[in-house]
Amino acid sequence: MRFSRGKQDGYYHYRHYSLPLLFTLALAIPATAAEDASTILSRFQQYLQINTAQPHPNYYEAAQFITSQANSLSLPSQTLEFVEGKPLILIKWQGKDPTLPSILLNSHTDVVPSEHHKWTHPPFSAHLDSTTGNIFARGSQDMKCVGLQYLEAIRKLKDSGFRPLRTVYLSFVPDEEIGGADGVAKFVDSDAFADMNVGIVLDEGLASPADHYRAFYGERSPWWLVVKAVGAPGHGSKLYDNTAMENLLKSIESIRRFRAAQFDLVKAGLKAQGEVISVNMVFLKAGTPSPSGFVMNMQPSEAQAGFDIRVPPNADPASLERRIADEWAPASRNMTFEFKHKVSVNDKFGRPAVTAVDSSNIWWALLEEAIIKANARLGKPEIFPASTDSRHFRERGLPAIGFSPMANTPILLHDHNEFLNKDEYLKGIDVYESIIKTYASYIQHPRDDASREEL
């Protein structure tokens, strides 16, 4: 199949030569109504077998697969490239009332790298263990499962004759694992996104080792901090004050104490991991290099360390910055600091970037209702401990909920031997079928609009 490419409205469009429409329908035969589990699992395995690991993800093969699935459902798909070589697939299920705010089901196509020799089965083999039913693959939890579950749920709904009242969009986006700057960050600023009139976003969550599902209404913001100390160089045998290494080690010890205090709150069960400020040292750089390693009789004039800090939306960022300036990198000890990356804990309106999880948010109530209908349970809503693409939607004031239907499953994202059990995967499809049906059938009453304006 051949495509032409032209840049328009700040992004690239791919289309068939013979069909100049923005959304293109392929002539494909819809799947039969009664598909067995092996066929459904086979599609999941096909997606997992596409190597989309950073830093060189095979995005075009993934895009072709996703588009073929949309074609099999007779759903129009659109391929956008805000950055060349990084396609974003947008699928549309037209609602009976397109004036209503739409539903966006988001997932990312890229995955993190793997140390192949440390896996029991190759990470892109999608090996299905016949004894346990576990499917081993990079992306089985994070988050190719969710993207395919969206599609399979819609397949079941269409086969049942269901027609959505609201328009449902599915987005398969690039580069989430490296921050999403060339993916969702550009998508939410595009005319294409504005035209979608999105009312609610569902994105990824985490597996739950317990028998209930987890849902996330906010996430911690990454602050990547580099602390640098300078001092006079000296002979390795000399003792003197304010060396670069001495001053940096004092800072590292201060940071370690802060980290321990935050971690103690988690260990005591007083706070969840997503509710505290985490700090982890990720590199230490010092010394004078030599052909055999480092010069051992010379104290360096510079030393620096890097820290991955995660700040929850209920924290006081100004207080943390004062701590960094006064305790962790004080100028009085010849120290400086800079942020390599720093994400605000607030949205563009200056409010904490969180989604309401009470009666003020109808989408949360509908999610709870849909999960109960699917004979499943939902745990207490949480702050996501890391970062996802959800933050780009919340920054614009949109409600976004992180949810991946994986219960009784160890948390293995980014770990060796990542897997998802086939029965959990199949059950998750039924859960999404319930959620999509509930969301897409919701009729908004006038008083809901008034409440939203008041909020």
- 242 vs 226: CA distance, rounded Å: 19
Backbone angles phi, psi at 275, to 5 degrees: -100, -5
Q: Establish whether 414 is an annotated binding residue.
A: yes
- 149 vs 427: CA distance, rounded Å: 9
Nearby residues of 141 by Cβ (< 8 Å), 6 or more positions away: 207, 404, 406, 409, 411, 412, 413, 418, 419, 420
Residue with tokens 């075009």: 60
Q: Which residues are catalytic?
A: 110, 176
- In degrees, rounded to 5, the angle at the alpha carbon of residue 349 between the alpha carbons of residues 345 and 353 is 30
Nearest alpha-carbon partner for 14 in 3, 24, 28:
3
Q: Establish whether 177 is an annotated binding residue.
A: yes
Q: Establish whether 321 is an annotated binding residue.
A: no
Q: Establish whether 121 is an annotated binding residue.
A: no
Q: Establish whether 235 is an annotated binding residue.
A: no
- Angle 144-159/422-441 helices, nearest 10 degrees? 60
Nearest alpha-carbon partner for 423 in 41, 36, 124:
41
- 186 vs 169: CA distance, rounded Å: 17
Annotated binding-site ranges for Zn(2+): 108, 142, 177, 204, 414
Annotated binding-site residue numbers: 108, 142, 177, 204, 414
